[in-house]
A and B are shown apart, each in its own frame.
Chain A
Amino acid sequence: MIRPMTARDPKWSVVLGATVTGLTPILLLFSIFLTLRGHNAPGGGFSGGLVMGSAVILRYLASGPAGTRTLRIDPIALIGAGLMIAVGVGLTSLVVDASFLESAIWKDDLPVIGEIKIVSSSIFDIGVHILVVGVVMAMVIAFAEADDEVRERR
């Protein structure tokens, strides 16, 4: 059986812990990559957010509730921030007299990097990404609380 563990737990797996520690930065980078490339290639905020969320879940599996608590981010803050970014993009397009959520495209040539193109809907996608991470974290918190409950009952 796989179950969440802590270092004090006799069944704590060193292998799992080490794997997660190594994997986490890769997953985080990959998730950002997925979100940002989404506009032109397979990917997007939803899948990117889920990948980042799975990093959080992995951390939970490897180190238990204590591990998730060290994150010190309120999932509700993440959810709210994501939703606000998404709504903000829509409202911004209203303010500049376009229809709700209509995309604006900025293109510019930067030295060294070359041509850069930013589309406002990418920012919307970043909002989706952040929100999805928040929702996954909310799930993890629910698990962690259930763990605590089990431990206290023993």
Chain B
Amino acid sequence: MIPLLLAHLVVAALCLAPGRHSARWALPFAALLSAATFGWLVSQSADILDGNPSTTNVEWIPELSLSITLRLDGFGLLMGLIVSGIGVLVLLYSMAYFGRREDLGRLAGLITGFAGAMLGIVWADGLLTLFVFWELTSITSFLLIGFTDKVPAARAAAVRAFLVTGAGGLCMLAGFIILTTSTGHTTISELVADPPSGTLTNVALVLVLLGAFTKSAQFPFHFWLPGAMAAPTPVSAYLHSATMVKAGLVVVARFAPTFAADGPWRWLIVSAGLTSLMLGGFRALRQQDAKLALAHGTVSQLGFLMVLLGLGTPAATYAGVAMLVAHALFKASLFLCVGVVDHEAGTRDMRRLRGLRRALPVVAASTTIAAASMAAVPPTFGFVTKEKAIDGLLDNEIGAIGTVALIGIAIGSVLTVAYTIRIAVGLLGDNAPGIDTADPDIDAADLAPVDPASIHRPSIGFVAAPALLAALSVIAGLAAGPVGDRIADAAASLDPETASKHLVLWPGFNGALLVSTLIVAAGVALWWFTRERTRTVDARQSFATVVYERTYDGLLDGARRTTVLTQSGSLPLYLAIVLVTLTAALGAALIAGATDSISSPRFSNSAVEFVVVLVTGAFAVAVPFSRTRFGAAVLLGGSGYALAIVYLVQGAPDLAITQFVVETLTIVVFLVVLARLPNEFSTAPPWAPRIARLGIAAGVGVTVALFALSASGSRTAPSVGADYIELSEPEAGGRNVVNVILVDFRGLDTLGEITVLAVAGAGVVNLVRAARRQQRRNRIEDSTDVVADAPSVRRQVGVWR
């Protein structure tokens, strides 16, 4: 497993390497890796499904007992097949979708990086391993949502998705840390084998659930998912319907069989899941953009899956795993179909589309089949799995909450049927929903129907992926028996009791079929009565989005206020604060007893020293009396040079050289900077009269001097100096012990210091260049006298460059 994950990293890096240069080889190259992953998983499947998980453990940071622990069990295998299989299809589909776009290397690299991270999530056994891959998918998702980074809405959606899922990830990390520290277990398999309980465990589990809810777009964190549709459609199909949003479900599925029975787990799962199921369903009914309708539908379906996988009963878990597969197949197919329509007809607005049945027959057929699977119509796999789910919930083993779940899922499924028909009819029907002319927000001219004759014919490669996924939805339905047994073997790694479960295409006339029939009938009726509704609900005005926006703006505003409060911009004030703090801290230490070690110092050791010290002091005393900045700088330099001589006299030539060179550079820098300032000192600010300035200066001088004396007299451990001198030549091959200390004995310190220097230097250069770019841009804007809201544009550009 590790080599495969590393291969994803390497391939991602190779694909990203060309940057913005054309790299058409990147997509097939990345698809090759996904295909190889798929093949490897298939080759392993017989053994794994027999119940022999393969585990890998790599020490990462043994000092912190951190290791990368992976475990390929049946569920991990199944998820891995989904991730890699749909990955291959999406990457091949992208070749046709993007055509000759320039930055395909970036797309392929990011998708591959994501696929690697996603495989890490589904294979992770170590809690921290899981967290690391979890956050990696958040980052790649951020980059992919904002892939068309010139669109402000895409960038905002990317930030929103990242903040929500990232915050959830941190909650989950906190939960994992509580679980690890309270039990000593660092892997999921250990936790499941020896489950803790109690209040602390419940707190941890709630935190883990928060992470899962944000990732799987569950209420109240569902709002980022529709925004994420700003990503290119292949990315939406892959990340935001088939794989990444399932990461939360994966975690829930692994924990639920053990932890669902106690504490608030089931109620949290059921309330969040059912709310998402219904909210998503309602929203999906009110969209005109087919892709957005699918996105809201995904929120809804994820809610369904969350309930099933979170209940923790064997029946629900088994149905949940099966539906997970069904959902991945039909939802990816639908997204890819919408992508073809968008590409060939130029719009996804269902009000404008007509005649697609004749223009895009393969897409129409695929859409119909996938939609049938989504609405749970026989003989599709969606039907088979939903039967199983309802059947499992009818055999209620868990009391009231099971009943609530069943009723909620039934109502949600009615909505699912209704919006599925709406999407299918909207895309493929000839009677597009009428245009609400009374709505002032709608411009009828924008909604002119697309002429079917103008729709391009997609290539076979373009429609192959959605068609294959749709075909699989039917094949899996017809072969429900054997497929169900494989899924039972896979789900057995979550809960051994599921091993005996089966799927059947035709269960006979039973309670579940009755419920399903009622659901479909009610769904058709609901669609019929709402089919004329054309007013769209703007997801941007939804309550959750508003709360998010307020919080986000409030945070930034608070930060701005704090900055204004603490950063006055006055250099004298900053200096005064720093110096007074220094005096207070050192003074407190001295008063607290550090004065004991102060020895009465000798003024000088020799006549030469006496003179040099006198000169140093004289220069220093003269500085404040200088009327000009230039003079002060030179006097300061004189004091520095004199100090270099003190070092020389004391027998430290290295220090002297360094002091001398640094002093020279400092003076030169002073001169260059002073050339831009008025020659005379400016008048002191009113809050700092002469007496205050004198006080601060005297305070700093006295405390620093006393502290230096105290520090040099307070040695408790023996000096290592003698050892250094002794070891310098034999150990490090150098006779200059000062230099040997710098580059060998304390080489790591030096490395740290030069790293700081490097960061500072690179920072200076980049700041200067950024300011330069900004100026140039401003000048262009000024000269062409563009757009009234240029400042806001500029601010955005400034943030995002």
A: residues with CB less than 8 A from B are 1-4, 34, 38-47, 50-51, 53-54, 57-58, 60-61, 75-76, 79-80, 82-83, 86-87, 90, 100-103, 105, 117, 119, 121-122, 124-125, 127-128, 131-132, 134-136, 138-139, 141-143, 145-146, 149-150
Contact = CB atoms under 8 A, between A and B. Distances in A.
Given A135-B760, A141-B765, A143-B672, A128 B665 contact: no
A20 B558 CA distance: 53
A76 B668 contact: no
**A interface majority secondary structure:** helix
Given A1-B679, A136-B665, A90 B751 contact: yes
Nearest to A144: B768
A149 B768 CA distance: 11
A3 B764 CA distance: 21
A76 B743 contact: no
A78 B665 CA distance: 19
B668 A41 contact: no
A39 B747 CA distance: 13
A57 B665 contact: yes
B736 A135 contact: no
Contacts of B679: 1
Contact of A54 (B656, B668, B765): B668
Contact of A134 (B665, B671, B739, B761): B761
A46 B751 CA distance: 12
Given A121-B734, A131-B757, A143-B673, 12 more contacts: A39-B743, A41-B735, A42-B738, A43-B739, A47-B658, A50-B658, A57-B672, A100-B748, A121-B732, A121-B740, A121-B747, A135-B757
Contacts of B761: 75-76, 79, 131, 134-135, 138-139
Given A61-B668, A128-B750, A131-B758, A119 B733 contact: yes
B743 A40 contact: no
B194 interface: no
A138 B734 contact: no
Interface string B613-639: 000000000000000001000000000
Nearest to A127: B754
Contacts of B747: 90, 100-101, 121, 124
A136 B662 CA distance: 11
A44 B758 CA distance: 18
A3 B742 CA distance: 36
B555 interface: no
Contacts, number: 161
Contacts of A82: 754, 758
B731 A103 contact: yes
A27 B714 CA distance: 42
A133 to B, nearest CB: 10
A47 to B, nearest CB: 5
A149 B676 CA distance: 12
Contact of B675 (A2, A39, A138): A2
Contacts of A117: 733
A54 B764 contact: no
Nearest to B771: A145
Nearest to A84: B758
Contacts of B775: 149
B497 interface: no
Given A61-B672, A101-B751, A145-B771, A44 B760 contact: no
B755 interface: yes
Contacts of A58: 668
A67 B668 CA distance: 17
Interface string B640-665: 00000000000001101110011011
Contacts of A60: 672
Nearest to B731: A103
Contacts of B585: none
